[in-house]
Structure 1
Amino acid sequence: MSPEAPEPGTVRPGGRTARVRTAVLRAAGDTLAERGFAHLDLADVAHRAGVGKTTVYRRWGTVTGLVADLLVDMAEQSLPRTETGSLLGDLKANARLVQRTLSDPRQGALFKAIIAAATCDPRTAEALHRFYDTRIREWAPCVQQAVDRGELPRGTDAHEVVRAVSAPLYYSLLAGGGPLDEAAADRAAQAAAAAARAGVYVR
C-alpha cells in the first residue's frame, strides 16, 4: 500500500455498492454485539451479510479495517446536536443521547466490544479516538455558545466539558457504576455544567 493510500474500509462507496457496505457493517456490528471482537471474522461477516467474502476482503482487508469503517458509519449516523438555548439544556440533551445509546442492548454491547478491543489493538484504538473526536466536535459548539451568552467564563475548553458529560455514563457502562438511566444522564450534565461555571475547564 502506498503512503497516500487510505486505510482499508475508510473510502465510502457510493451508488449500488452502498447496499453492500450497509449490509456488511450491520453484520459486523451484530457480530461484535453478540460475540465480541475476538470472534469477528471477515468470512463469517460476509456470509452473514449475504455477500461474497472476496468483496469483503478486497474492500476492508482486515478486521480492524472493518471496525474502523463501522466507527466512521456510527459517527455519521449519530443524531445531530440539539440546541435548547441554555447550557444545561444542551448538555442534558447530549447526556441523554449518550445514555440512550449505551443502555440500548445492541449498542451498549457493541461499544463494550470495541472499547475492549481498543485496549490491545492500536488501529482499533485510533478508530475509536476518531469516532469520539467527531462526536465531541459535533457538540462542542453548544459550550462555546454558552461562553458567548455569558453563561461560562472566557477560555472554557468546550471539548473538555463535553467529555465530562459522557465520562460517568461510560463508567457506568464499563464498570457497573450505578444505573444507566435518564437520572444518571441528567446528573452527569448538571455536574459538568456546574464545574464549567466554576471555571474548572478554563484553559
Structure 2
Amino acid sequence: MESAATSTGRAPTVGRGSRMRAAVLPATLTELATTGYAGLTVEGVAQRAGVHKTTIYRNWKDAPTLVADALTSHFATDIPIPDTGTVAGDLRALARALVASVSTPVGRALIITVLAEAARLPQLADVKRALFDDRFRRAEPVVTRAVERGELPAETDPAELLKTLAAPIYFRLVCTGEPVDEGTADRAAQVALAAARARVLPAA
C-alpha cells in the first residue's frame, strides 16, 4: 500500500532545526558517497533526507555550501582523541581510527571529495583547512601527556607529529591506491613515534 507521501510524490517532512539538520547532513554524505560530488544535487539530497528541496534552500544557499556544512560536521567527530596511558598506544589508536574512517565507502568518498574539489571550490578549501587545523589542535593533549610522562621530547610539535602519523595512510589512499588496514596504521604510528623521539619533529 502506498503511503501518502508516495502517492502524492511529495517527500515526507522531518521538521525544522536540529531534527532537519540531523536528516539532511547525513543524507548529503550518503549522496556524496553514492554519486560523487559532480553528481550530487539538492533534489537528490532532499529525496534521501525526506525533506522538500525548498527546506534545504532556506538553510543552505547552494549545493557547495551544503556539502561544506556536512563535511565540517562529519570531520569534527569522526576520529576521537584516545587516552590509553602511553604515547605508543595513543598514536596506534589514532592511526587505526583514521584507517577505519577512510576505509568505509562514505569515508573514502569524503576524503576524495575534500582533496580533489578543494582546489576549485573555496568552501571546500576552507573545510580542508579547518579539518586539519582541528585534527592538529585535538592531538595536542596526546603530546602534552606524553611529554609529562617523559615519553617525548618537550619540543615535539603536535601538528608535525600528526602529519607524520597520517602521511603514510593518505599516501596509500590517494596516491598509490593501495589498501590500508591496521598493519598500515601500526607502522605509521611506529614511524611517527620514532621520529618524535629522534627530535626531528620540533615546533617551528
Q: Would the TM-score normalized by the shorter structure come out above 0.5?
A: yes
CA distance in 2, matches of 1:167, 1:96: 13
Q: 1:71 touches 1:128 (CA, 8 Å); kept in 2?
A: no
Which amino acid in 1 is paired with 2:130? R
Q: Please, what TM-score do these two structures have when normalized by structure 1? A: 0.86
Of 177-186 and 96-105, more deviation after overlay is shown by 177-186
Of 185-194 and 72-81, more deviation after overlay is shown by 72-81
Deviating runs (4+, > 6 A) in structure 1? none
CA distance in 2, matches of 1:86, 1:26: 34
Unmatched tracts of structure 2, length 5 or more:
1-14
The alignment partner of 1:77 has SS state of coil
The alignment partner of 1:51 has SS state of coil
Q: How many residues align?
A: 189
Q: Please, what TM-score do these two structures have when normalized by structure 2? A: 0.86
Name which structure has the greater RCO, CA cutoff 8 Å, separation 6+.
1
User: Superposition RMSD on alpha carbons, in Å?
Assistant: 1.7
Q: 1:27 touches 1:45 (CA, 8 Å); kept in 2?
A: yes
Q: Does 1:145 align with 2:156?
A: no
Seq. identity, % = 44
Unmatched tracts of structure 1, length 5 or more:
1-14
| Residue 79 of structure 1, CA deviation | 4.3
Q: Does 1:87 align with 2:98?
A: no
Q: Does 1:172 align with 2:172?
A: yes
CA distance in 2, matches of 1:132, 1:190: 21
In the alignment, which residue of structure 2 is the partner of 1:120? 120
| Residue 138 of structure 1, CA deviation | 1.7
Alignment of 1:32-111 (within 5 A): 32-111=32-111
CA distance in 1, matches of 2:106, 2:43: 22
For each residue in 1:42-97, what CA deviation from the matched residue of structure 2 results, as whole angstroms up to 9, or x when unmatched?
22211221111111011011222112211221133324211111111110000000
